[in-house]
Every structure is written in C-alpha cells, then in structure tokens.
C-alpha cells in the first residue's frame, strides 16, 4: 500500500496515547497514567517533527534512530521545532519505559499507535510485520505536511535526524 499522505496535505486526524513525563517517572516503580493526544487540537499552530519506528527497544530503532534525535534536540529547537515525537505500535507503557530508559524526559514525546492502526490506515505500516509502523518521518507546520519520507530499505536514512534537520 502506498502512502496516502503527501507534502501539502493537512495531516489526517489521529488520537494517540502517551504517558507525559514527570519527575516521579524516574522511579522504576512508577508507571504513570496514559492520556490522549489529539494531533489536530494539540499540534495546531505548532511546528512538529514526527518520526516512526517499527518498535521500541528494537536494535535499529534503539541504537540508530532515536538517539540522534535526542542528541540534536537543541538543533531542532533552533530551527523552530516546537515538538518532537516518536511513534510506534507499542503500548503507551512500553513507549514510556523506552523514553525513560533512553533519557528523553520531556524532550521527545513517545506516542503509541496501537497495533500501528493509524500508520497502516495511511500506508505507513510495516509490510513485513502486521502490528508495526513503518520507519518514516514528517515535518508538520500548523498541521500541514512540509516533509514526509519513508524508508524503503533497512536502516535509517530519510527518516533520521540529519535528514529531517536538512529539510527544516
């Protein structure tokens, strides 16, 4: 299935679950409570970088995809990015745990696209794994897609932090 979202489109509506960062989550015994993020309501008027990984804690995602976004956080902010978010098909507790383990704190939102439902609906799912998102990235400015690209080979290239920074 080809992606149905393209540059110039208004991002399709979506509501994702996530656990917002709080200092209490630093304890390994605190899980937090998932809340909903409505992208049309919460991202209106903002510049957002959204990138997707097939799964939290998976080798390429954990070692090569997420860390450069955190390392280059100040560069994204300097280019006017209000929000950086990572999305995967994992549940919000796994995504929160991954974010805490990775030291994201409140810098990068960890959003749950449960069973990759939204990603699959828009042609951004992982064809080889039914409940995983594909590996992709997009830049949104006031909900309008400014950049979108999907990895077609193994590894991180067009959805990586450097590629997205170059498009800002």
CA-CA distance, 32 to 153, in Å (whole number)? 36
Continuous segment of H or E residues that includes residue 15 = strand 15-18
DSSP character at residue 118:
H
Residue written as token pair 């015994």: 29
Helix, strand, or coil here: 18? strand
Distance of CA 86 to the CA centre of its chain: 2
Residue 90: count other Cβ atoms within 10 Å of its Cβ: 27
Q: Is 61 a catalytic residue?
A: yes
Instruction: Give alpha helix (H) positions in the chain.
Output: 39-42, 59-60, 66-71, 73-78, 92-102, 117-121, 161-167
Catalytic residue among 19, 48, 50, 61: 61
In 3D space, the residue among 8, 4, 35 whose CA is nearest the CA of residue 21 turns out to be: 35
Catalytic center residues: 61
């Amino acid at each position: 299935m080809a992606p149905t979202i393209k540059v110039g489109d208004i991002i399709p509506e979506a509501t994702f679950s996530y656990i917002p960062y709080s200092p209490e989550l630093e304890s390994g015994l605190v899980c937090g409570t998932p809340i909903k993020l409505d992208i049309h309501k919460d991202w209106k008027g903002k510049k957002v970088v959204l990138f997707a990984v097939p799964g939290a804690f998976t080798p390429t995602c954990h070692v090569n995809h997420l860390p450069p976004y955190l390392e280059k956080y100040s560069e994204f902010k300097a280019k006017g990015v209000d929000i950086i978010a990572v999305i995967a098909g994992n549940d919000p507790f796994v995504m929160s745990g991954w974010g805490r383990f990775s030291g994201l704190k409140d810098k990068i939102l960890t959003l749950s696209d449960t069973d990759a439902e939204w990603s699959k609906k828009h042609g951004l799912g992982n064809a080889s794994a039914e409940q995983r998102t594909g590996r992709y990235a997009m830049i949104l400015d006031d909900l309008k897609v400014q950049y979108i690209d999907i990895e077609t080979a193994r590894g991180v290239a067009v959805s990586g932090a450097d590629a997205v920074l170059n498009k800002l």
